[in-house]
Structure 1
Amino acid sequence: MPTNGALLGTPTKVTQGSQTKGGIGESTLRPDGTLKVTGEFAYSSDMWHEDMLWGQILRSTVAHAEIVSIDTSEALAQPGVYAVMTYDDLPTEVKNYGLEIQDTPVLAHGKVRHHGEPVAIVAADHPETARRAAAKIKVEYRELPVITDEASATAPDAIHVHENRDDHHIGHVPHPNIVHRQPIVRGDADEAAKRADVIVKGEYYFGMQDQAFLGPESGLAVPEEDGGVHLYIATQWLHSDLRQIAPVLGLPEDKVRMTLSGVGGAFGGREDLSMQIHACLLALRTGKPVKIVYNRFESFFGHVHRHPARLYYEHGATSEGKLTHVKCRIVLDGGAYASASPAVVGNASSLGIGPYVVDDVEIEAIALYTNNPPCGAMRGFGAVQACFAYEAQMDKVAKQLGMDPVEFRKLNAMEQGTIMPTGQPVDSPAPVAELLRRVTAMPLPPERQWESSEGADVRQLPGGLSNTTHGEGVVRGIGYAVGIKNVGFSEGFDDYSTARVRMEVVGGEPVAVVHTAMAEVGQGGVTVHAQIARTELGVAQVTIHPADTQVGSAGSTSASRQTYVTGGAVKNSCELVRERVLELGRRKFGTYHPAWATAELLLEGGKVVTDGGEVLADLVDVLGDEAVEVEAEWRHRPTVPFDLHTGQGHGHVQYSFAAHRAVVEVDTELGLVKVIELACAQDVGKALNPLSVVGQIQGGTTQGLGIAVMEEIIVDPKTAKVRNPSFTDYLIPTILDTPTIPVDVLELADDHAPYGLRGIGEAPTLSSTPAVLAAIRNATGLELNRTPVRPEHLTGNA
């Protein structure tokens, strides 16, 4: 058994007082929190196994080329090398994988399609030996022209990124280099445009963002005596990984056992496979455990990124400020492989006009195959790019009309009952105008905060500690934005989760054990599951079993769905356990007290009580030596795919909403920006853990800040090579860049969701970016139609 400290092989025990303290609605502390902040938490990269080998991946140095030859002889001859594998060494006929479309080769065959694509893998007795051996593999390439944008991808003579493509989207796309196309048409936008007093058009560019999680891709594959393999892995979805891994290995799924190890962040970047299959292949080939850990440089090539996008919008409005129509076209660059691009297209199109009432819309969203880095899931999932563009448009239309931008938004804000462009009614609270009102009412930070009696605090100024200014040429700007994000998987996906709950007496005390396959990636799901168990079962002691594939699927830790869906499964299983415990009590004690048969019985504080508070029995006496265990699934309401011609259909389960106000200081001479505050108002339905809720909102807000002013993967348009694969050149916000983030939490219950909750983790990532851009525009008067904003865009040197 490998060692991995707190969360691998050792249950996480959570104990909170007596009665039902630490239940739903309380700010309970995370069981992994102290370990993480003190550096004691064990991540997947910390795993160790006796006699293990180290794996290394050789990646392509070019973006598009035929593979003429691969010579592994020198690598195999190096002392300490146990195995070198290429495409020809794969054990089965299944050599590709993918989330929806199985278009990604385990190792490149015939050609490479993007810079950094895996070509060969090595196992050796030391990581440096493995790296040196990989460097000795000789690959001869014949370079091909690169496809890098829509023009080169859809030209009549364009090379097809994927030859002989036969996936289920090919029949409805106009070109083989288009992964998926989703139009949405409602009403008649052309006719509605005739009623508009103002028509505003805009073109926008959204840069490629990296998830930039701090824990690089890593895992440990251990061969087992039955010919199978046990993979300890940092991932977002154990069962999806299993579904893709097993066929390539030629093993039944029950011989590929998977256990979640410590995850150092995800944000969508771990939905796709990285080193999982490679580690398993090497372990099965050598008969030894194999560990693979990416360095930071490799991590930039080893996972998908957020789709860069070009967005074309037209908004019309009457002189009174009512929107008449919206037309938009959204072009997402999916890179070399499909990943989650089809679903991202569905989100971008269906949420493309934002949280506004518009009867006449014409939308088209597409994702391209190119030779750029593959793109897929990232927090906000297509809705982020759209929000950046439609919120810029709302400001432009308001300016043309001479209206306050917030009042213009409130005038057109959707509410419960609004019909989406897809024809689906919004059947839960949609407090868009109220969120705008709340965020507008929050106090503004003081002017010229850098000034004090003790002198200038340069940390509050653009440029910060570089001490570039003491306030000369610094202008304040304020901007607003609001967004809409779907919750859960959409368009007919069978989105469910499973939970196993066991209740028994341990050490003279009733204990609940919750076992799911939910990937805890830092969102605090293990805390919420314990809170649910305490609330539903009335016990103080709750143990969270390590996540693995020995229980049914929990789905992906993405789409703001885990608290909703896996929380729903835990709640459902707990309710079934409670009923069985009460039935057990009725059989043991019911004849002695009529309340067993007539009262509404509850479990509270380790006892069985009536709804009037009368104690009937102690849970220790009810359970005795018996244990009650239930494994149950929970599904949310069904959805349907959007029509491929009109985009109509009830494709989403739930929506979440957030509004931001950004306050910035801009040095107009140097083009430097300091975001002073990013205030947020968000409806969360029900705050199951208020402290965690605020943390999620602040985290999502900060990620939106990053793409607004600093984060972008730069790809050379001529070679399709990544130019900045490191945290030296790819910048993410530090604590010095992160502004004050006051949060106003609104709780309007969704009657369709467990406890009325609403998924919260993604919505603040949408509206924070356009709010920052709006504030910079307000300060400078510049149009600023791209992210991120760079100094040269503010000084006229772009």
Structure 2
Amino acid sequence: MSTPNGTPTKITQGSQTKGGIGESTLRPDGTLKVTGEFAYSSDMWHEDMLWGQILRSTVAHAEIVSIDTSEALALPGVYAVMTYDDLPTEVKNYGLEIQDTPVLAHGKVRHHGEPVAIVAADHPETARRAAAKIKVEYRELPVITDEASATAPDAILVHENRDDHHIGHVPHPNVVHRQPIIRGDAQEAAKKADFVVKGEYTFGMQDQAFLGPESGLAVPDEDGGVHLYIATQWLHSDLRQIAPVLGLPERKVRMTLSGVGGAFGGREDLSMQIHACLLALRTGKPVKIVYNRFESFFGHVHRHPAKLYYEHGATREGKLTHVKCRIVLDGGAYASASPAVVGNASSLSIGPYVVDDVDIEAIALYTNNPPCGAMRGFGAVQACFAYEAQMDKLADAVGMDRVEFRQLNAMEQGTIMPTGQPVDSPAPVAELLRRVKAMPLPPEQQWLAAGEQADVRQLPGGLSNTTHGEGVVRGVGYAVGIKNVGFSEGFDDYSTARVRMEVVGGEPVATVHTAMAEVGQGGVTVHAQIARTELGVTQVTIQPADTQVGSAGSTSASRQTYVTGGAVKNSCELVREKVLELGRRKFGSYHPAWATAELLLEGGKVVTDGGEVLADLVDVLEDESVEVEAEWRHRPTEAFDLRTGQGFGHVQYSFAAHRAVVEVDTELGLVKVIELACAQDVGKALNPLSVIGQIQGGTVQGLGVAVMEEIIVDPVTAKVRNPSFTDYLIPTILDTPTIPVDVLELADDHAPYGLRGIGEAPTLSSTPAVLAAIRDATGLELNRTPVRPEHLTGT
């Protein structure tokens, strides 16, 4: 059997002093990915394996009258067909927080593309043909698609027998979760406002559009269990949901992380995991499932589309008086991460500004639209789009420069959040704005080449040759955002790391084993850097992530470097203490060389250039190894009060600011983003090269939702209309602008090395910056994403 990451990744630097924290070490998987040699989960193979296929609903809301599998079972090469009635236990649902998602539809389907039956066959085409032969009779029901249809007095309930812990505080059973945040008296404060602006904003449904569609391989074990090789974001969360459905103890469901082709939140929920395991246990053979791109659009959650209603007020001097807002998120048919997204959207809804009087409400709906859940930015993205548009409107009303208006109202360390929580680490919002504004602007009309000939590649429309500069107008826009880091609202957010130190071939080697899902964020590099820094070794081996070590939590919420990095650091420190104790026992307290080593170890540096101490360290470890498995937790948080929204809900905040420069063909409505400059505080850049890559990647993802990305759902049928990259557009290299980055490092004393999570913040502010620049170029209000040509031309 060939399994991605099936052998440890050895990361070696040539010098004892290289490759530690603060250096731009290269990714061990980088060359393989660039050359196409990296093994992803879809590349796995097992002798005598079968192929799985999922039959999905063709309607969004309907009763299932009957399912006939006889023709599928009669097809040569088919080993198994399973429906809801074939599930082996009484546990037939799963979910991240609320277990409301059926493994296979029962009684009714609630969204277009919901799994109804699964097939295992000896060839993928046979499996697809068999699935097509399953006959499902539906009796269609009215669809719930928006707040009006979801909360009407006579609305059909998406979940008829709902009994989760949120039901007691929501105004209607079709509301997943509601979080108000009340601080001060916004109604009274509004009377003091000299200027008031209101806005209604629409944010489209975005897809994670990761590189590798969902895939995995389930292999039955001799003990009656199963081993699942899977591309996921959270191995232990998958395990917790999978084992009860299979009727197996968790120890009999072994999971190994396989090559992950990106995630961005879309792999936090289960997709084909349970289906592959069910088929493997039913047939007694390995079963591989690989989605095609069409199926992937139905197989994972998306970013919540939203309606946002805002009111901001300010004095003549430009100080904010109050903010009122209401955020309505469409969670689709199942809860997924909607409650947590509501918490983020509400608590971060006014942005990185000082406002004493706020009246905020955020809700997520159950509808028959596609399920929505985690995606990079997680509720804060939608809010940032709206509050930054409001800040521009209000600055114009007051008559102030838009950046200076933001700086005047910017939060700083010590600011009290709307939730009552003090910001107790650096919050350089005004400085980030100053830095991004101070960056040189790209030259005007840079599309003019020698001889005043237009280079159409640099113009709106690009190589379609729609313009040579006629009707092209430049615009500049600014935005800044705030994003929480880590799991919040009282979640027990921790990670585990196992570190072993031993001598191999006369050289000390550290081995790091965690369950962290490497989804492209660079944890495999950072963990080695931490081990080198804390233990002073040259060679570090990163073991494949699996469930044979304690949980590392999810690779989401910008938390892995903070939490799992913290666990690796903690384990390394404990290993260091044990090595010291071995040295004391072997050499005694007065051995000169070991005394030197002890001092160096206590200072966090083991090895000197002379090598004498290293030799003694080798002597200590040559007959035994030292291994520690330890957890690391950040400081506790607490749930927001369900009436007032007050509480210490977030452990850390991150901040980024953008300046967008765009050129717009005002006649055709085409936009070219010329530059997206970013300034971001990262606390400490553990790997500067990776930091820049994360910021630029998040920036482009925000650009995508600004001008092109949206899953279109038919408002009448609730069917997805564009489940392919032919019709769902994402930025290519030709759409990617210049992205200069200014990295600020202001340490957070509560975090390992002072670091901040960085991956999400740039996704927040890039979208409203692009919209602000387009508004600057056109003078249009533009209160929705993405902006399309018809919004710019009125056609």
User: Is this contact kept in 1: 2:454–2:468, CA < 8 A?
Assistant: yes
1:585 Cα deviation after fit: 1.0
Between the aligned partners of 2:545 and 2:620, the Cα distance in structure 1 is 29
Give 3-state SS (helix, strand or coil) of 1:649's partner.
coil
Between the aligned partners of 1:591 and 1:414, the Cα distance in structure 2 is 52
1:457 Cα deviation after fit: 1.3
1:595 Cα deviation after fit: 7.3
Between the aligned partners of 1:70 and 1:725, the Cα distance in structure 2 is 26
User: Is this contact kept in 2: 1:19–1:606, CA < 8 A?
Assistant: no
Between the aligned partners of 2:293 and 2:613, the Cα distance in structure 1 is 58
CA 1:454–1:543 in structure 2 vs 1: closer, same or farther (change >3 Å)?
farther
1:607 Cα deviation after fit: 8.8
1:406 paired residue number: 403
Give 3-state SS (helix, strand or coil) of 1:617's partner.
helix
Give 3-state SS (helix, strand or coil) of 2:3's partner.
helix
User: Is this contact kept in 1: 2:110–2:333, CA < 8 A?
Assistant: yes
User: Is this contact kept in 2: 1:352–1:390, CA < 8 A?
Assistant: yes
Between the aligned partners of 1:221 and 1:612, the Cα distance in structure 2 is 51
1:589 Cα deviation after fit: 1.4
Between the aligned partners of 1:775 and 1:607, the Cα distance in structure 2 is 49
1:618 Cα deviation after fit: 3.1
Between the aligned partners of 1:683 and 1:487, the Cα distance in structure 2 is 13
1:20 Cα deviation after fit: 2.9
Superposed CA offset, 1:192-235 (max 9, x none): 00100000000000000000001000000000000000000000
User: Is this contact kept in 1: 2:218–2:288, CA < 8 A?
Assistant: yes
Post-superposition, which runs of at least 4 consecutive aligned residues in structure 1 deviate over 6 A? 604-607, 610-614
Give 3-state SS (helix, strand or coil) of 2:297's partner.
helix
1:744 Cα deviation after fit: 0.1
CA 1:706–1:606 in structure 2 vs 1: closer, same or farther (change >3 Å)?
closer
CA 1:88–1:599 in structure 2 vs 1: closer, same or farther (change >3 Å)?
closer
1:86 paired residue number: 83
User: Is this contact kept in 1: 2:324–2:358, CA < 8 A?
Assistant: yes
User: Is this contact kept in 2: 1:217–1:293, CA < 8 A?
Assistant: yes
What TM-score do the two structures reach when normalised by structure 1? 0.98
User: Is this contact kept in 2: 1:685–1:746, CA < 8 A?
Assistant: yes
User: Is this contact kept in 2: 1:539–1:605, CA < 8 A?
Assistant: no
CA 1:612–1:119 in structure 2 vs 1: closer, same or farther (change >3 Å)?
same
Q: Which runs of 5+ in 1 are unaligned?
A: none
1:587 Cα deviation after fit: 1.1
1:438 Cα deviation after fit: 0.1
Give 3-state SS (helix, strand or coil) of 1:284's partner.
helix
1:724 paired residue number: 722
Structure 2 matches for 1:308-347, cutoff 5 A?
308-347=305-344
Between the aligned partners of 1:467 and 1:598, the Cα distance in structure 2 is 70
Superposed CA offset, 1:350-400 (max 9, x none): 000000000000000000000000000000000000000000000000011
1:601 Cα deviation after fit: 2.2
Between the aligned partners of 2:181 and 2:614, the Cα distance in structure 1 is 59
Between the aligned partners of 1:630 and 1:464, the Cα distance in structure 2 is 56
1:459 Cα deviation after fit: 1.1
User: Is this contact kept in 1: 2:226–2:252, CA < 8 A?
Assistant: yes
CA 1:607–1:159 in structure 2 vs 1: closer, same or farther (change >3 Å)?
closer
Give 3-state SS (helix, strand or coil) of 2:397's partner.
helix
User: Is this contact kept in 2: 1:599–1:611, CA < 8 A?
Assistant: no
Question: Which of 457, 470, 492 matches 2:455?
Answer: 457
1:606 Cα deviation after fit: 13
Superposed CA offset, 1:495-554 (max 9, x none): 000000000011111100000000000010000000000000000000000000000000
Between the aligned partners of 2:103 and 2:121, the Cα distance in structure 1 is 20
Give 3-state SS (helix, strand or coil) of 2:241's partner.
helix
Give 3-state SS (helix, strand or coil) of 1:7's partner.
coil
CA 1:471–1:464 in structure 2 vs 1: closer, same or farther (change >3 Å)?
same
User: Is this contact kept in 2: 1:538–1:604, CA < 8 A?
Assistant: no
Give 3-state SS (helix, strand or coil) of 1:491's partner.
coil
Superposed CA offset, 1:449-492 (max 9, x none): 11x33732111100011110000000000000000000000000
User: Is this contact kept in 2: 1:55–1:290, CA < 8 A?
Assistant: yes
Between the aligned partners of 1:396 and 1:454, the Cα distance in structure 2 is 37
1:72 Cα deviation after fit: 0.1
Between the aligned partners of 1:613 and 1:287, the Cα distance in structure 2 is 55
Between the aligned partners of 1:273 and 1:577, the Cα distance in structure 2 is 36
Between the aligned partners of 2:723 and 2:12, the Cα distance in structure 1 is 43
CA 1:606–1:398 in structure 2 vs 1: closer, same or farther (change >3 Å)?
closer
Between the aligned partners of 1:7 and 1:586, the Cα distance in structure 2 is 42
Between the aligned partners of 2:715 and 2:599, the Cα distance in structure 1 is 67
What TM-score do the two structures reach when normalised by structure 2? 0.98
Superposed CA offset, 1:92-118 (max 9, x none): 000000000000000000000000000
1:7 Cα deviation after fit: 4.2
Deviates most, 472-481 or 586-595: 586-595
2:244 paired residue number: 247
Between the aligned partners of 1:600 and 1:647, the Cα distance in structure 2 is 50
1:596 Cα deviation after fit: 4.8
CA 1:70–1:129 in structure 2 vs 1: closer, same or farther (change >3 Å)?
same
Between the aligned partners of 2:549 and 2:80, the Cα distance in structure 1 is 33
User: Is this contact kept in 2: 1:184–1:645, CA < 8 A?
Assistant: yes
Between the aligned partners of 1:214 and 1:458, the Cα distance in structure 2 is 29
Q: Which runs of 5+ in 2 are unaligned?
A: none
1:605 Cα deviation after fit: 14
1:175 paired residue number: 172
Give 3-state SS (helix, strand or coil) of 1:599's partner.
helix
Deviates most, 658-667 or 579-588: 579-588
2:369 paired residue number: 372
Give 3-state SS (helix, strand or coil) of 1:336's partner.
coil
CA 1:606–1:426 in structure 2 vs 1: closer, same or farther (change >3 Å)?
closer
1:602 Cα deviation after fit: 2.4
1:18 Cα deviation after fit: 2.3
Superposed CA offset, 1:567-608 (max 9, x none): 000000000001111111111112442675698622599995
Confirm whether residue 791 of structure 1 aligns to residue 764 of structure 2. no
Count of residues in Structure 1 that have an aligned counterpart in Structure 2: 792
User: Is this contact kept in 1: 2:596–2:613, CA < 8 A?
Assistant: no
Deviates most, 725-734 or 590-599: 590-599
CA 1:329–1:613 in structure 2 vs 1: closer, same or farther (change >3 Å)?
farther
Superposed CA offset, 1:424-460 (max 9, x none): 000000000000000000000000011x337321111
CA 1:17–1:399 in structure 2 vs 1: closer, same or farther (change >3 Å)?
same
1:164 Cα deviation after fit: 1.2
CA 1:165–1:605 in structure 2 vs 1: closer, same or farther (change >3 Å)?
closer
Give 3-state SS (helix, strand or coil) of 1:362's partner.
strand
CA 1:637–1:605 in structure 2 vs 1: closer, same or farther (change >3 Å)?
closer
User: Is this contact kept in 1: 2:460–2:671, CA < 8 A?
Assistant: yes
CA 1:607–1:435 in structure 2 vs 1: closer, same or farther (change >3 Å)?
closer
CA 1:648–1:613 in structure 2 vs 1: closer, same or farther (change >3 Å)?
farther
User: Is this contact kept in 1: 2:179–2:361, CA < 8 A?
Assistant: yes
Between the aligned partners of 2:321 and 2:600, the Cα distance in structure 1 is 54
Superposed CA offset, 1:50-108 (max 9, x none): 00000000000000000000000000000000000000000000000000000000000
CA 1:514–1:430 in structure 2 vs 1: closer, same or farther (change >3 Å)?
same
1:616 Cα deviation after fit: 7.6
User: Is this contact kept in 2: 1:488–1:560, CA < 8 A?
Assistant: yes
User: Is this contact kept in 2: 1:478–1:779, CA < 8 A?
Assistant: yes
User: Is this contact kept in 2: 1:65–1:111, CA < 8 A?
Assistant: yes
Confirm whether residue 743 of structure 1 aligns to residue 721 of structure 2. no
Give 3-state SS (helix, strand or coil) of 1:652's partner.
coil
Aligned-residue RMSD, C-alpha: 1.6
1:615 Cα deviation after fit: 3.8
CA 1:7–1:123 in structure 2 vs 1: closer, same or farther (change >3 Å)?
closer
1:402 Cα deviation after fit: 1.0
Between the aligned partners of 1:6 and 1:28, the Cα distance in structure 2 is 26
The sequence identity of aligned pairs, in percent, is: 94
Superposed CA offset, 1:728-773 (max 9, x none): 0000000000000000000000000000000000000000000000
Between the aligned partners of 1:590 and 1:12, the Cα distance in structure 2 is 37
1:422 Cα deviation after fit: 0.1
Between the aligned partners of 1:639 and 1:94, the Cα distance in structure 2 is 31
CA 1:616–1:380 in structure 2 vs 1: closer, same or farther (change >3 Å)?
closer
Give 3-state SS (helix, strand or coil) of 1:567's partner.
helix
Between the aligned partners of 2:613 and 2:288, the Cα distance in structure 1 is 54
Superposed CA offset, 1:316-361 (max 9, x none): 0000000000000000000000000000000000000000000000
Between the aligned partners of 1:357 and 1:612, the Cα distance in structure 2 is 55
Give 3-state SS (helix, strand or coil) of 1:332's partner.
strand
Give 3-state SS (helix, strand or coil) of 1:615's partner.
helix
Between the aligned partners of 2:473 and 2:606, the Cα distance in structure 1 is 64
User: Is this contact kept in 2: 1:607–1:616, CA < 8 A?
Assistant: no
